[in-house]
Amino acid sequence: MNENLLTNRIRKEVASLGDARSRRESGCFVAEGSKCVRDTWGHFECVHLFATLRWYDENRSRLAGFEPIVVSHGEIGRMSQLKTPGEVIAVYRIPERQFEAERFSSGLAIALDGVQDPGNLGTIMRVADWFGVENILCSPDTVDCFNPKVVQATMGAIARVNVVYADLCEAFGQLPGVPLFGTFLDGNDIYKERLPESGIIVMGNEGKGISPGVSGIINNRLLIPSYPAGRPTSESLNVAMATGIVLSEFRRRSL
C-alpha cells in the first residue's frame, strides 16, 4: 500500500484534469466516486488511484494487487471535480482511438454533430449502452467524452461504449451504402417509417440541430411527433431524450 506519496505537484495535476487542455497534454482523465471507479476499473490503464483507507479496505479485492495512494477525505476534496467528493479518484490513461469504418458499417451506431453539453453526451452514452449500441462517432466540436462531467453522467457506460472523433462528412464517405438517419422538424413520422436493424442515427447540436453540411447527406429524415398533433407544445426535445426515443423505436422494430 502506497502511503504519503501525494505531492503538491501530483495534487495540482489531478485537479487540473477538469480542463480539456490539461487532459490533452497529460493524456489522462479522472473517474471519481466508488461506483464510477468500480465500473471503469480494468477497462483503462490506471496511472494513479487515490483512496481513503476505508475505501481501500472495502475494495482491495477488486484491485488485483494495484496499490492506491492512501489519502484523507480532505485531500480527495482538493483534487475532486465534484461538489460532493467521494472516497476515491482514479486517474486513467486516455486510450488512443481512431475512426475505423468497419465498426460503423454494420449494426446500429450513433453520430453526434456538435453536441456541447457534457450531461447530454454522458446521458447519450448511457442510453446507447442500455440499447446495445457500442459505437458513437462524434464531430470534432462535440464535447470531450473524457470530460469529468461526461464520465460521471455515463454511469459506467464509458467503459463499454467506443467513442471516436472525426469529420462526419469524411467518415460517412467511407461508409457507402450505410443508411443515415437524422431527426428534423420536417422529417417523416418515425412511427410510420420502416426502420432497419443497421444504420447510423445522427443527432445534432442542442440549439442548432444537425449542421447543413451533414444534413445534406442524410438520406432518411425522421420526426418524433408531439402528441396530440397540432397541440401547442415545447419547441423541441432535449437531444439526449430524443436519442433515447429514437433508439427505443429502432430496437422495438427489431424484436
| pLDDT, tens only, 197-252 | 999 999 999 999 999 999 999 999 999 999 887 787 777 799 999 999 999 999 99
Same domain for 21 and 116?
no
Shared-domain flag, residues 9 and 81 = yes
Mean pLDDT per segment of 10 residues, for the chain of length 255 residues? 70 96 97 96 96 95 92 95 95 96 96 98 98 98 98 97 98 97 95 95 96 96 89 84 97 84
Same domain for 148 and 72 = no
Identify the domain containing residue 221 by its residue range. 101-253
Q: Are residues 43 and 169 in the same domain?
A: no
Sign of the alpha-carbon dihedral angle for 107, 108, 112, 117: negative
Distances (CA, A) of 141 to 70, 83, 221: 38, 27, 23
- For residue 32, give the CATH number of its domain: 3.30.1330.30
Compute the distance between CA of residue 167 and CA of residue 180 in angstroms, rounded to an integer. 15
In the chain, the number of structural domains is 2
Are 131 and 66 contained in the same domain? Answer: no
Q: Do 21 and 79 fall within a single domain? A: yes
Q: Indicate if 80 and 109 belong to the same structural domain.
A: no
Q: Which residues are 51's β-sheet partners?
A: 70, 88
